[in-house]
Amino acid sequence: MGFVLIMLSIMELLVKSSSKAISRADFPDGFVFGTASSAYQFEGAVNEGNKGASIWDTFTRRPGRIMDFSNADVAVDQYHRFKTDVDLMKNIGMDAYRFSISWSRIFPEGSGELNTEGIKYYNNLIDSLLEKGIQPYVTLYHWDLPQALEDKYNGWLSRKIVKDFENFAFTCFQAFGDRVKQWITFNEPHGFSLQGYDTGLQAPGRCSILGHLFCKKGKSSIEPYIVAHNILLSHATVFHTYQLHFKEKQGGFIGIALDAKWYEPISDADEDKYAAQRAMDFGIGWFLDPLFFGKYPLSMQNLVKHRLPEITSEMSKLLVGSLDFIGLNHYTTLYAHNDQIRIRKLVLQDASSDAAVITTSSRGGIAIGETAASHWLHIVPWGIRKLARYVKDKYGNPPVFITENGMDDPNKPFMALSTALQDNKRISYHRDYLSNLSAAIRQDGCDVRGYFIWSLLDNWEWNSGYTVRFGLYYIDYKNNLTRIPKASVQWFKSFLGQNEMLSE
């Protein structure tokens, strides 16, 4: 450990000498800082505690679906190591921890018999957090649907899912709601509707593009809209269930976390401005417009037509106002321009091409920002401020939490540990995004109340497997999953632990 201590001392000096002036004092009193995770990416222990199989357990067994042919059977083993991980959060100075509950750990078959082992695990995790003064922010669904429900009625494609999700949520409120006050129903429904049912790149892997070369079942032009519709109805049903049975006694709040890119018009031409607006409509508008206005965005209605499920007047009443806050998972920004020719739509015949928008990461040969390890993640700090202003202006300045933000480095097996730990790019990323977020709050009046880093630990990153590293802590996959602090840990310790400005 002597080498690690020496490295930490060097990192501390480098952090202090390279950081621009920003501190926790640049955010309002009560602003929440935390880290985020998901059960499937962190817990492991897939065959322990009577847990049932999820669609991701099934999906990772399909050849060629995961870049490094890995799975999350062990992940970073938080199921067994949560107490030490909570200590790491406390040591940095985090206020909160956003994690998800594995549905199949509570109901191995999706419904029916309750698994007391699962209840016990999450009770212990929640109690450990509260003992350290860390508030739990709990996501009910982070993509890991019980495989039993997929087999039974095709999961999110069936309206039957609404009742089963309500039962799962009710059980969680009943078991944990005396201590959990912040609930997120769904994580990135836009992403898993498209990736799971349009491109087929993620579980359950349904699609029809390119003549079923990749998927055995699916209809890419229709199924994403059905899935999203059932998600919206499930969210609203759970919100009202909480209001009716738990709100008065528990006093908690219900939100939804959306994957939220910012789309910047590639030019000042009206067609590109309209294209950028359509990109926002088909992104966060797909879910926020029904929850605020009781209907899908007009651009979606016009372009998707009869393939877009109807929101009846009864549904509209259920949906409108059924959230206490919005979670935004924001990582990156892209340029948008109008797709005049629409060859992509002609070839793919899928939901992703319905918006008639071409997105790109460069303009005039100049990149919109530096790229992280993941090719889709362009570092564009000003995008978070524009996104916050957009939500404020369009939806009446509702309470917002940045429920995910972060960047990844490549996992290079032969890279020196000292190099991997010196994550200056991550420090700059968070510093610059936080500076823009502070400006959105202080100068633009945006009601943003918290910021969650993805993530505390390097972890299993869906299709990328273990090929990228998002963590503040380095996971030594070859040495008992040892947690080793990167330079960004020291930066956040300074940022969160002192109200004085970090030195220039």
Q: Distance between CA atoms of 106 and 169, rounded to whole angstroms? A: 10
Is 462 a member of any domain? yes
Tens of pLDDT along 43-54?
A: 999 999 999 999
Decide if 43 is catalytic: no
Given 43, 264, 404, 461, which residue is catalytic? Answer: 404
Task: State the amino acid at position 303 in one-letter form.
Answer: L
Structural tokens at position 295: 């209907």
At 348, the pLDDT band (50, 70, 90 cuts) reads: confident
Q: Which domain, by its residues, includes 101? A: 25-496
Q: How many domains does the chain have?
A: 1
In a domain, 392, yes or no: yes
Helix residue ranges per DSSP H, 103-187: 103-106, 116-131, 147-153, 160-176
- What per-residue confidence (pLDDT) applies to 293? 98
User: Is the pLDDT at 370 greater than 60, yes or no?
Assistant: yes
Q: Is 215 a member of any domain? A: yes
Quick check: 7 pLDDT over 60?
no
> Is 292 contained in some domain?
yes
Question: Is 299 inside a domain boundary?
Answer: yes
- Angle 285-371-74 from CA coordinates, rounded to 5°: 80
Q: How far apart are CA 44 and CA 86, in angstroms?
A: 17
The answer to the question of residue 174 being in a domain is yes
Q: Report, as an integer, the average pLDDT of 487-504.
A: 74
Hey, is 337 helix, strand or coil? strand
Cis bond upstream, residue 204 (ω within 30) = yes
264 among known catalytic residues: no
Picking from 59, 343, 392, 323, the residue whose alpha carbon sits closest to that of residue 201 is 59
pLDDT confidence band for 20 (50 / 70 / 90): low
Q: What is the predicted pLDDT for the residue at 19?
A: 43
Q: What is the largest CA-CA distance in the chain?
A: 66
Residue 2 lies inside a defined structural domain of this protein: no
Tell me the C-alpha distance between 148 and 150, whole Å. Answer: 5
68 φ, ψ to 5°? -105, 15
pTM for this structure?
0.94
CB atoms within 10 A of CB 58: 15
DSSP bridge partners of 183 = 138, 254
> What one-letter code names the amino acid at 436?
N
What's 364's domain CATH number?
A: 3.20.20.80
Q: Which long-range contacts (CB under 8 A, 24 or more apart) does 343-348 make?
A: 348/209, 348/210, 348/220
Catalytic residue among 150, 188, 264, 461: 188
Residue 497 has pLDDT above 90, yes or no: no
Q: Residue 367, SS3?
A: strand
Q: How far, in Å, are 10, 83, 278, 484, 492 from residue 3 at the CA level?
A: 11, 25, 52, 11, 21
Q: How far is the C-alpha of 309 from the C-alpha of 470, rounded, in Å?
A: 37
- Cis peptide bond prior to 234, omega within 30° of 0: no
DSSP 155: G
Q: Position 283: which residue type?
A: G
183, 256 in Cβ contact below 8 A?
no
pLDDT band at 146 (very low <50, low <70, confident <90, very high): very high
In a domain, residue 9? The reply is no
Output the six-digit token pair for 359. Answer: 């997105």
* Mean pLDDT score across all residues of the chain: 94
φ and ψ at residue 409, rounded to 5 degrees: -105, 155
Predicted confidence band at 273 (pLDDT cuts at 50, 70, 90)? very high
Average pLDDT over residues 212-235: 94
pLDDT the model gives residue 211: 61
Residue whose entry in the numeric block shows the structure tokens 């190591």: 81
Give residue 240's Cα distance to chain centre. 23
pLDDT surpassing 80 at residue 127: yes
Give the separation between CA 356 and CA 448, rounded to whole angstroms. Answer: 31
